[in-house]
Chains A and B, each alone.
Chain A
Amino acid sequence: MKRLTIGVVLAIGLALGIGCSGSTGSQVFAFHAVARGTDGASGGAYTFTTPSGWSVTLTRARLRVGPVYVNHAVPISQSRSTGGYSSGRYIAQVLAQVTVDALSPSPVPFGVDGEGVAEVAQTGEVWLLPDGGDDATPILEVAGTATRAETTVPFAGALPIDSSWLTPASPATPGESPLLALRQVTDIPVLFSTQPGGTLVVRVEPARWFDAVSDFSTLAGNGAAADGSFHLGADGLASDAATVAIFRGFHAHEGAYALQWQAP
């Protein structure tokens, strides 16, 4: 009887040990998140040359970014709806906004911790949402001078993301270009593993905003401020070519933004 009792006790102990072990994999954690500007600037003016040969000196480049998401998967072509969320699995998010000075490499905290799970990240998303749903909220503010050969174009302005930037929809596909899609910079290529204790760094590269501008002088049609700077266009897609190119530039998913994971 004593042996039987010992046996039963051992069996129970073994079973409990087996039953209460193991994991479903991965883990959930909170992490720190910051945004900062390009490494090429030090808080003052930042000069670079565009692919079309313009030498641009930025004196102001502020961008309102957030929230930020990181996805485990690379979206397959056609798998994304025309607005909303990617396929795959989101593994990290920072649910806050911050205005980042793109001309300063100093990190600016988002103010809240991000939430994540331990996985390999392959894509990132930076959303450019207005403040409190107010479409007039400027997302981008820039000022600087573009010079090519004998032409110098001082410019300054702010760009909201509102319905004036929407491509007119076909009656057959009225949902093809929703406003939300304009406010998402998606498919930013990344490759890192999210881990507890790490920090997500969102780096903004202002030089890439101007990659598609072939001629800054089209800004001249928008009128000038008292200091002689030409305004950015205010008519959305109907604006001048340079303004439209800048708008598209800061939506570029390659180059304009970099998401990095700093291990502790």
Chain B
Amino acid sequence: MRRRARACTFSVAALAVLATSPIALAQPAHVTAPDPISHVDAMYPAGEELDTTVIVTVVIDKTGKVLEATITEPVGHGFDEAALEAAKQWVFRPALRDGVAVRARVHIPFHFSPPAVAGAPPHAHGDVHVAEKRPKKKPATGAEGGTPGIEDAAPDEVTVSGVSRPASHGASDIDIQIGQLRAVPRKNAQELLKLAPGVFLSNEGGEGHAEQVFLRGFDAREGQDIEFSLNGMPINDVGNPHGSGYADTHFILPELVESLRVTEGPYDPRQGNFAVAGSAAYTLGLAERGLTAQYGFGSFGTHRALLLWGPPKESTHTFGGAEIYKTDGFGQNRRAQRGTAMAQYEGKLGPKTTFRLLGTAYATHYGSAGVLRADDEQVGRAGFYDTYDATQGGDASRASIAFDVASRTGQTTLAQQVFVTHRTMRLRENFTGFLLDTQGAFQSPHDPRGDLIDLDTTMNTIGARGSARTKADLFGVPQELELGYLARVDDVTGTQQRDRFGTLVPYTKELDSSAVMTNVGMFADASVKPGIDWITVRGGVRGDLFTYDVNNHCAAPPDARGAVVDQPCQSLDRSGYREPNTRSSTSSVLAQPRATVLLGPFSGLTLAASYGMGARTVDPVYVTQDTKTPFARVDAAEGGIVYAGTFRDMRLGARSVFFGTHVDKDLVFSETSGRNVLAGGTSRTGWMGEGRLTGSWIDQAINVTAVKAKYDDTGLLLPYVPDLVLRSETAVSGDLFSIAGRDVRGTLSAGLGYVGRRALPYGQRSDTIFTVDVGASARWTRYQIGLSSQNLLDRRYRLGEFNYVSDFHSQPYPTLVAARHFTAGAPRTFMLTLTIFFPEVGG
């Protein structure tokens, strides 16, 4: 199996310089050289160690599209193909002669440097680039097709990056390049997950609430079973009272996501806490250089202003972005506002050392409609998009900084990252109406006051991770070994109250706690070729120490005579006076072996078999003194086949995987708690298939996952998880017509999603979901207009469906038997966006 890495060239910057360089000035005064608008990184050929340069000559037509690309200075070893493939995807602002677009030819030197962080963790330091200045090259000259040509020139300065990602750890280790599928309409970065097989997203909490993720038969809620990271920085909230592992990715601007690595299963030793169903590692990057300003407005009073900036002379990993968003929302109580800012600088500390500094800030305030009873909607007591409780909603904020550095010395690559995150979250949800506030003896007489959960938490995280990867020859071939660690400390405070219906006045307190949790993990990951070229064994072991120090400030309920009436947190129990708090601390160590065997490739086909053990720490509320195993354990195994090749001029990838997992302590949704709670053991078996065809004018991805998830003890199905998920995404682009000699480039995109009938409690099945999202855009010179629609068919569908007991006082008598509830999916929405590009800004 080949190690993959990416090399990108910053000829973008260089070519922009061309216009003002002496070379450019040598052109006729009224000639402007072609200027790159966007460029695509080349992939560093796996298994290679060369530090080399490939010169590609491209012919650019009047629209700025690459007509032809040829190798001028080949070096072989896969570098030529990688450079060609990348160069064909570049888009230029065409060359001008007397203000008229003309064809032109330029040389692009792709410099490949061995990755600084070979096999970097999917969630750490990640992309690291080594920048080098290249010597000036003499300009070549040429003309194209009888059109007055522009003399070719190589840039006088070239910045080159070597970027790596970890080697594949099985058939379910999927590296998703967003590419042209960025055009498919999406609301946020989390929806990029749909490019991974088997992912279904739901949301009953409002636009500022993290999406609920279902993956391969897991109800991962808001990330409790999926490890999320951004450029290596952990996203999951350890100890969040709404669910430890809660992962809100809304702070990520989707336009800044360069790629997404989704590993479905715990097969890579780098995967840490919460990687039960798998992990999702976002990598940031901005291909479009210069300043991009976008304003969008659409249905239901939705407005979005976006600014992106990629300094032309810097790498694609140096950028800034900010957005302001607001919507009135469809139906009742779905308003939302948010602001996001992200910036990253990538620089160099020496010939082989790079660093990256990332900062993010995000805040949102939103309303939520919550759930509706289906019987109320069916008889007209409530509208499909109505709400029972307009005080539902929430607030969230996040600020984080990450700094990482990587250097390469000989055969060893060292990487180190530190990160700090501050998070706040307030969440108000009412799943059960007036069901839970029964009269207590130590309470003043009252009618049911309502079940609104009013949760508030503040979380601070500080941590570091690092790795050392080295190579050595064994059996006559290079073998790899990486050692790494993660250390993080999370300090969390949280309260959960219940509020009187419609007033936000709290009447009782269910939780008041603080906790400090520490995770120190270390791993060893080897890639071994036992002397046979087509056999590779990857894997190793991960060890984690989890510690908890929990202080429950409300540990004594009113159950003793003499208790203070109506006070939820007492200083008295049946033995007399006591302080109202209880401390609990514990720790535990877990070793998790993980291994993958790869056979091939044989004509592009690779067989893979993997096994892995993973873990998810439990919520602090479940921790008692010296709890022996404060984590759930998952065992996963799979076998599959992966194809990577070409179809005509397009890249074709496909995979088929059969998988099975077992979790000893699963999480199941509890409507009374408003979140997932611990349940017994569960098992899953299923199959996943995926394919993607990528060419210069088309990008087509399709995936399907079928899974059966059941309880170990009863053999009954696990509720809520979809057993069939299909997704298709398509983007096509091409030149439409010309205006003033400049072509208008159009893009059409479509996303189709189908979710089968999900199992619900009491033998019920949900409705199916089928949605169609489409988008169209046209770009002329620096202007672009786009129109997108989500749920184009305006299907009225239930995004989330539940079957449980609630009493919203919608009927004359208390409703105490399980009934169908749902959260409404969005109706058809339109969004019109206007974008202006200023590629010269910052150049």
Q: Which residues of A are in contact with B by a Cβ distance under 8 Å?
A: 8, 11-12, 14-16, 18-28, 66-67, 69, 81-85, 90-93, 95-96, 115-118, 127, 129, 169, 171-176, 178-181
Contacts and interface: CB of A to CB of B under 8 A. Distances in A.
A29 to B, nearest CB: 10
Nearest to A27: B763
Contacts of A178: 439, 445
Nearest to B725: A19
A174 B442 CA distance: 6
Interface in B704-730: 704, 706-708, 710, 714, 716-719, 723-724
Contacts of B441: 82, 173, 175-176
Contacts of A127: 813
Interface stretch (B95-103, B475-483, B682-690, B738-746): B682-690
A19 B723 contact: yes
A174 B445 contact: yes
Interface stretch (B8-16, B392-400, B814-822): B814-822
B448 to A, nearest CB: 7
Nearest to B688: A15
17 contacts: A15-B686, A15-B687, A16-B706, A19-B723, A19-B724, A20-B723, A20-B757, A22-B759, A23-B717, A23-B759, A24-B716, A67-B813, A81-B438, A85-B438, A85-B814, A118-B763, A174-B445
A107 B445 CA distance: 37
A129 B717 contact: no
Nearest to B375: A115
Interface in B637-666: 656, 658
A8 B656 contact: yes
Interface string B155-188: 0000000000000000000000000000000000
Interface string B743-770: 0000000000000110111111000000
Interface of B: 435, 437-446, 448, 561-563, 565, 656, 658, 685-687, 689, 704, 706-708, 710, 714, 716-719, 723-724, 756-757, 759-764, 803, 805, 811-819
Contacts of A171: 565
Contact of A18 (B437, B446, B685, B689): B685
A25 B817 contact: no
A173 B442 contact: yes
**Top 3 nearest A-B pairs by Cβ distance?**
A84-B438, A19-B706, A15-B687
Contacts of B812: 95
Contacts of B562: 172
Contacts of B723: 19-20
Contact of A82 (B439, B687, B760): B439
B517 to A, nearest CB: 32
Contact of B708 (A21, A174, A181): A21
Nearest to A96: B813
A18 B818 CA distance: 27
Contacts of B716: 22-25
A85 B438 CA distance: 7
A37 to B, nearest CB: 23
A180 B686 contact: no
B99 to A, nearest CB: 55
Nearest to A97: B813
A169 to B, nearest CB: 8
B816 A175 contact: no
A18 B658 CA distance: 12
A67 B815 CA distance: 10
B763 A25 contact: yes
B724 A16 contact: yes
Contacts of A129: 813
Given A24-B717, A24-B761, A95-B815, A19 B439 contact: no
Contacts of B561: 172-173
Nearest to B704: A12
A91 B817 contact: yes
A53 to B, nearest CB: 38
> Most chain-A CB neighbours within 10 Å: which of B714, B724, B817?
B817
B724 A20 contact: yes
Contacts of A174: 443-445, 565
B687 A28 contact: no
Contacts of B437: 84
Given A11-B687, A26-B761, A85-B816, 16 more contacts: A8-B689, A14-B687, A18-B686, A18-B687, A18-B706, A20-B723, A20-B757, A25-B716, A27-B764, A84-B439, A85-B435, A117-B818, A172-B442, A172-B563, A174-B565, A175-B439
> Most chain-A CB neighbours within 10 Å: which of B438, B444, B719, B760?
B438
Contacts of A117: 762, 817-818
Contacts of A95: 811-813, 815
A166 to B, nearest CB: 9
Contact of A92 (B435, B565, B817): B817
> Most chain-B CB neighbours within 10 Å: which of A14, A27, A85?
A85
A113 to B, nearest CB: 12
